[in-house]
């Protein structure tokens, strides 16, 4: 077990014993607001209420009963008003913590593997023939980070991808592609071709809207015809073009995932599961779970779930998102039959839809766990992004602008660097920046995207974390005994101890991030770690020192670097050795 968790449990148990019958949860053991108060703290409020005593009295009683001899690593216990504060022995803490980091093998602060749930986790949800935009970026950054964070808590996670490759948007795109481009595009590079296809969709969308406005019904009829052809007639030229162009998008998506360092264990396509959805709806109709209404098929979820009417099949007999999602759930559990739970990550707008879906499946007898994690939208200062209004901020534009911006900066700073190193480092900076801006804000907070702000690489940014790591790496190349065993910590400055103690709390950041399904907890922890590291770095020089002082400081930085690298890895932020 992680040292941190063990210490907290030990304290909780000891306090429970000292208060006789009270159950004390380990999470009641907190961090005091000021380091000089101690390393752990417990507030006596609840116990005081139970005992009808003053919290200060209870705190004093508990402190008096606790003996440091029985508490691992603790060298001081004292009551401070309503709190009991605990202080750890620095030398012992350093030895045990560093030993844990050294043997953790990239799993510092983590719980044992496969001790949790088996989760199918669906995220990303791109649409073929359409643009990848910065809203998807938020999904990707959150999803990939959640996979790591949940795994750190012992859950078995199977990340899967669901791609929407059918529907009106596809038909519109094909309509315009055939009409204006004769069904061909000149690009051969997978990414460029995907992007060109998405551009066709934007044109198509505008042309379609213009036609609608001017009362021209021909495009609408043509789009319906194409939609029907690709759904019903596999031998039609439209179906052939659909499959060809779909592949352009899918190839492009593979490249996007690869450059973002995202992996899926399975891909589901809407077209593969949609027809099964219709079948499932018909079964539900037979069972009485669904019913006819106004020519369509619905499920009435107004009571007891209070989830309104759920539309399952349109009056023209065609399916919709809900239809597909019913079958998709079957497909997921067919691929991962041992899974206990399925979690889906989308923006908040779909929360109602998924609440309905899960309620419907439970009515249908499903016993697995279902979860939806919603995050707030990414908007521009003008409001919601819309491809029709042309207000989409494209993923590729942001990526390219960031790469450009950081390349320029790097060339100026390191004129001696070879082009390849500049390019590689610029990508690390760009992808780090993109992900970090999406991860630091908690997921229930809307992000108003500002390109200028996103391009600024100061303050609370991924670059600050990457820069901190690079400084550690450089420092360590100049001392040769960073990994040597040390028995004592020749502390000369409070910043050293503050940094050491912050490393101990890493396990708490992981546990919190997982419990809240919120990677921003980890992102902010790492930022704080770097702040403490930077402060220490300025005040406590390493190279001009020698003997145990140098050894200790180098070791502190080395271990900080390892924890930082692990945390960044979990957030999907690339690390580089020089910046």
| 374, containing H or E segment | strand 369-375
Sign of CA dihedral 270, 273, 278, 283: negative
Minimum CB separation from RNA for residue 124, in Å? Answer: 13
49: contact with RNA by CB under 7 A = yes
Minimum CB separation from RNA for residue 108, in Å? Answer: 22
Q: Among residues 315, 319, 291, 310, which one has the least CA distance to residue 361?
A: 310
Minimum CB separation from RNA for residue 516, in Å? Answer: 8
Please write down the HEC assignment for all residues of 12-35: HHHHHHHCCCCCCCHHHCECCCCH
Q: Are 372 and 342 in contact (CB under 8 A)?
A: no
Residue from 245, 406, 551, 560 touching RNA (CB under 7 A): that is 406
Compute φ and ψ for 255, nearest 5 degrees: -65, -40
The span of 10-18, 140-148, 234-242, 463-471 binding RNA (CB under 7 A) equals 463-471
410: contact with RNA by CB under 7 A = yes
**CB-nearer residue toward RNA: 286 or 412:** 412
5-34 residues near RNA, rule: CB under 7 A: 27-28, 30, 32-34
- How far is it, in rounded angstroms, from Cα 203 to Cα 187? 17
146-185 residues near RNA, rule: CB under 7 A: 164, 167-169
Q: Which of 169-192 are b and which e, b meaning 16 or more Cβ less than 10 Å from the residue's Cβ? A: bbbbbbbbbbeeeeeebeeeebbb
Residue from 87, 249, 260, 440 touching RNA (CB under 7 A): that is 440
Q: Which long-range contacts (CB under 8 A, 24 or more apart) does 361-367 make?
A: 361/326, 361/329, 363/289, 363/299, 364/284, 364/287, 364/289, 366/329
Residue from 10, 45, 56, 424 touching RNA (CB under 7 A): that is 45
124: contact with RNA by CB under 7 A = no
The span of 7-15, 200-208, 329-337, 443-451 binding RNA (CB under 7 A) equals 443-451
65: contact with RNA by CB under 7 A = no
549: contact with RNA by CB under 7 A = no
Residue from 250, 475, 499, 529 touching RNA (CB under 7 A): that is 475
**What string marks each residue from 214 to 253 as x (binds RNA by CB under 7 A) or -?**
----------------------------------------
Residue from 5, 191, 296, 335 touching RNA (CB under 7 A): that is 296
488: contact with RNA by CB under 7 A = no
Residue from 353, 363, 396, 483 touching RNA (CB under 7 A): that is 353
**What string marks each residue from 313 to 332 as x (binds RNA by CB under 7 A) or -?**
-xxx---xxx----------
The span of 90-98, 131-139, 249-257, 351-359 binding RNA (CB under 7 A) equals 351-359
492: contact with RNA by CB under 7 A = no
Q: Which of 228-262 are b and which e, b meaning 16 or more Cβ less than 10 Å from the residue's Cβ? A: ebbbeeeeeebbebbeebbebbbebbeebbeebeb
- How far is it, in rounded angstroms, from Cα 72 to Cα 89? 9
Strand partners for 291: 298
Residue from 35, 43, 369, 490 touching RNA (CB under 7 A): that is 43
**CB-nearer residue toward RNA: 336 or 436:** 436
Minimum CB separation from RNA for residue 212, in Å? Answer: 12
Tell me the Ramachandran region of residue 295: left when phi exceeds 0, alpha when psi lies from -120 to 50, beta otherwise.
left
| 81, containing H or E segment | none
- How far is it, in rounded angstroms, from Cα 129 to Cα 163? 11
82: contact with RNA by CB under 7 A = yes
Residue from 331, 447, 509, 529 touching RNA (CB under 7 A): that is 447
126: contact with RNA by CB under 7 A = no
**CB-nearer residue toward RNA: 148 or 271:** 271
386: contact with RNA by CB under 7 A = no
Q: Which of 79-94 are b and which e, b meaning 16 or more Cβ less than 10 Å from the residue's Cβ? A: beebbbbbbbbbbebb
520: contact with RNA by CB under 7 A = yes
User: Distance of CA 115 to CAs 126, 146, 150, 408, Å?
Assistant: 32, 17, 11, 47
493: contact with RNA by CB under 7 A = no
138: contact with RNA by CB under 7 A = no
417: contact with RNA by CB under 7 A = no
Q: Give yes or no for a cis peptide into 304 (omega within 30° of 0).
A: yes
| Contact residues for 272 (Cβ-Cβ < 8 A; gap 6+) | 331
């Amino acid at each position: 077990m992680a040292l941190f968790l063990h210490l907290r449990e030990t304290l909780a148990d000891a306090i429970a014993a000292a208060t006789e019958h009270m159950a004390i949860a380990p999470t009641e053991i907190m961090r005091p607001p000021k380091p000089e108060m101690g390393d752990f703290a417990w507030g006596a409020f609840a116990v005081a209420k139970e005992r009808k005593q003053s919290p200060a009295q209870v705190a004093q009683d508990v402190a008096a009963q606790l003996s440091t001899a029985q508490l691992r690593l603790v060298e001081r216990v004292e009551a401070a008003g309503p709190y009991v504060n605990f202080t750890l022995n620095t030398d012992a803490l350093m030895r045990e913590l560093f030993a844990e980091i050294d043997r953790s093998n990239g799993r510092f602060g983590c719980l044992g593997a496969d001790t949790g749930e088996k989760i199918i986790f669906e995220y990303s949800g791109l649409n073929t023939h359409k643009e990848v935009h910065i809203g998807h970026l938020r999904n990707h950054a959150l999803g990939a980070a959640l996979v790591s964070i949940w795994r750190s808590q012992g859950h078995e996670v199977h990340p899967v991808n669901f791609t929407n490759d059918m529907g009106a948007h596809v038909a519109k795109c094909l309509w315009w592609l055939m009409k204006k481009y004769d069904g061909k595009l000149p690009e051969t590079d997978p990414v460029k071709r995907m992007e060109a296809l998405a551009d066709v969709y934007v044109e198509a969308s505008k042309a379609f809207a213009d036609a609608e406005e001017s009362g021209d019904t021909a495009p609408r009829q043509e789009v319906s015809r194409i939609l029907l052809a690709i759904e019903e007639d596999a031998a039609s030229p439209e179906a052939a073009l659909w499959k060809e162009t779909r592949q352009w998008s899918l190839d492009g998506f593979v490249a996007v995932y690869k450059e973002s360092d995202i992996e899926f264990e399975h891909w589901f396509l809407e077209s593969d599961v949609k027809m099964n959805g219709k079948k499932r709806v018909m079964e539900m109709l037979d069972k009485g779970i669904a019913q006819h209404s106004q020519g369509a098929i619905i499920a009435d979820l107004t009571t007891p779930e209070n989830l309104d009417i759920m539309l399952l099949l349109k009056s023209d007999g065609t399916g919709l998102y809900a239809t597909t999602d019913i079958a998709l759930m079957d497909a997921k559990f067919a691929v991962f039959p041992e899974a206990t739970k399925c979690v889906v990550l989308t923006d908040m707008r779909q929360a109602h839809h998924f609440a309905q879906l899960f309620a419907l499946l439970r009515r249908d007898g499903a016993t697995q766990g279902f979860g939806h994690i919603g995050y707030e939208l990414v908007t521009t200062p003008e409001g919601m992004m819309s491809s029709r209004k042309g207000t989409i901020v494209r993923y590729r534009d942001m990526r390219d602008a960031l790469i450009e911006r950081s390349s320029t900066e790097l060339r100026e700073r390191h004129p001696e660097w070879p082009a390849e190193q500049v390019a590689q480092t610029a990508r690390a900076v760009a992808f780090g920046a993109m992900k970090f801006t999406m991860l630091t804000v908690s997921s229930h907070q809307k992000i108003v995207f500002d390109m200028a702000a996103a391009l600024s690489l100061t303050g609370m940014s991924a670059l600050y974390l990457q820069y901190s790591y690079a400084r550690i790496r450089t420092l360590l190349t100049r001392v040769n005994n960073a990994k040597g065993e040390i028995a004592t910590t020749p502390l000369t400055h409070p910043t050293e101890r503050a940094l050491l103690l912050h490393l101990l709390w890493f396990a708490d950041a992981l546990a919190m991030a997982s419990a809240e399904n919120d990677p921003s907890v980890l992102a902010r922890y790492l930022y704080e770690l770097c702040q403490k590291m930077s402060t220490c770095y300025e005040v406590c020089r390493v190279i001009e020192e020698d003997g145990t002082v140098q050894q200790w400081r180098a070791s502190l930085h080395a271990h900080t670097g390892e924890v930082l690298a692990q945390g960044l890895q979990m957030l999907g932020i690339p690390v580089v050795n020089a910046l």
